[in-house]
């Protein structure tokens, strides 16, 4: 579903991403880990063609990331997601469907199904200004499900949530994975990653340090946080 082949992105003399290669299989729940400034967001930007690699290549769903066709299969949730507070959740989903040029009948069917998926029945017609942070995140994930993407790219989807909100989003993402969705996650919440992801990669200063299964990374009593710190500190 995702492949990076010696992907490099330079800004002047700074290599934000330095010769990184890895792949993510269809149906995988994958986490890209690293400290602030490690290059995670730059990789996401290259996958979505917000910026282009200086050298190397990236592909999504078999298409080069520079090809519009690569993004048809993708739903993207940015960090610090916001929804206009004067809309209801339902209105927001409808407007997202309009942007994708989905017919009104199909949009209604998709939005109705998505409201059920995200567990927001009964609150979809109230104003976003009345929503908690967790509810906004639910509708944010709901919006990226419009159009039936095969891949979700999520940048810190539990950012700013309380423990209940974190659990709710985790359960939602697990249910999506059970339905065959491929999920590519950027997160600093290593305890959550350890619970739900199949595989993870750790990068620092633009370089890939390791990519492996969670079960292989976490062993001999270590936590994923222990592993992360060991790789980052060298």
The rounded distance, in Å, linking the Cα atoms of 233 and 110 is 46
Let me know whether 52 and 158 are in one domain: yes
Residue 80 has what pLDDT?
79
What pTM did the predictor assign?
A: 0.90
Mean pLDDT of 179-194: 90
Residue 165 has pLDDT above 90, yes or no: no
**92-110 b/e (C-beta count within 10 Å ≥ 16 → b):** bbbebbeeeebeeeebeeb
Residue 234 has pLDDT above 80, yes or no: no
User: pLDDT tens for residues 52-94?
Assistant: 999 999 999 999 999 999 998 899 998 878 899 999 999 999 9
Residue 61 has what pLDDT?
93
Q: In this predicted structure, which of 146-155, 161-170, 189-198 has the lowest mean pLDDT?
A: 161-170
Let me know whether 124 and 192 are in one domain: no
The rounded distance, in Å, linking the Cα atoms of 177 and 197 is 10
Query: Which stretch, 16-25, 79-88, 152-161, 217-226, has highest mean pLDDT?
Result: 16-25
The rounded distance, in Å, linking the Cα atoms of 73 and 123 is 28
Residue 160 has what pLDDT?
72
Residue 201 has what pLDDT?
96
Let me know whether 112 and 224 are in one domain: no
Residue keyed to tokens 């290669």: 21
Residue 207 has what pLDDT?
96
The rounded distance, in Å, linking the Cα atoms of 113 and 232 is 42
CB neighbourhood size of 234 (10 A): 6
Residue keyed to tokens 């910026």: 51
Let me know whether 4 and 65 are in one domain: yes
Rounded (to 5) percent helix, strand, coil in the chain: 40, 25, 35
Residue 127's domain spans which residues? 80-149
Tokens of 199: 């595989």
Let me know whether 108 and 37 are in one domain: no
Let me know whether 191 and 88 are in one domain: no
User: Over the chain, what is the mean pLDDT?
Assistant: 92
Let me know whether 13 and 114 are in one domain: no
């Amino acid at each position: 579903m995702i492949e990076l082949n010696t992907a490099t992105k330079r800004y002047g003399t700074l290599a934000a991403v330095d010769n990184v290669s890895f792949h993510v299989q269809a149906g995988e729940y994958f986490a890209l880990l690293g400290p602030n400034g490690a290059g995670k967001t730059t990789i996401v930007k290259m996958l979505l063609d917000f910026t282009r690699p200086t050298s190397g290549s990236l592909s999504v769903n078999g298409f080069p990331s520079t090809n519009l066709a690569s993004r048809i299969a993708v739903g993207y949730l940015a960090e610090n997601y916001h929804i206009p507070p004067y809309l209801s959740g339902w209105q927001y989903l409808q407007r997202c469907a309009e942007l994708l040029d989905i017919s009104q009948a199909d949009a209604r069917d998709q939005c109705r199904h998505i409201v059920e998926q995200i567990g927001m029945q009964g609150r979809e017609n109230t104003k976003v200004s009345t929503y908690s942070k967790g509810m906004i995140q639910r509708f944010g994930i709901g919006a990226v499900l419009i159009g039936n993407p095969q891949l979700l790219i999520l940048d810190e989807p539990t950012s700013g949530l309380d423990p209940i909100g974190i659990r709710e989003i985790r359960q939602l993402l697990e249910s999506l994975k059970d339905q065959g969705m491929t999920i590519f996650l950027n997160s600093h919440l290593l305890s959550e990653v350890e619970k739900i992801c199949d595989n993870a990669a750790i990068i620092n200063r633009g370089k890939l340090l390791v990519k492996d299964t969670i079960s292989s990374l976490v062993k001999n009593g270590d936590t994923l946080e222990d592993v992360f710190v060991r790789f980052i500190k060298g």
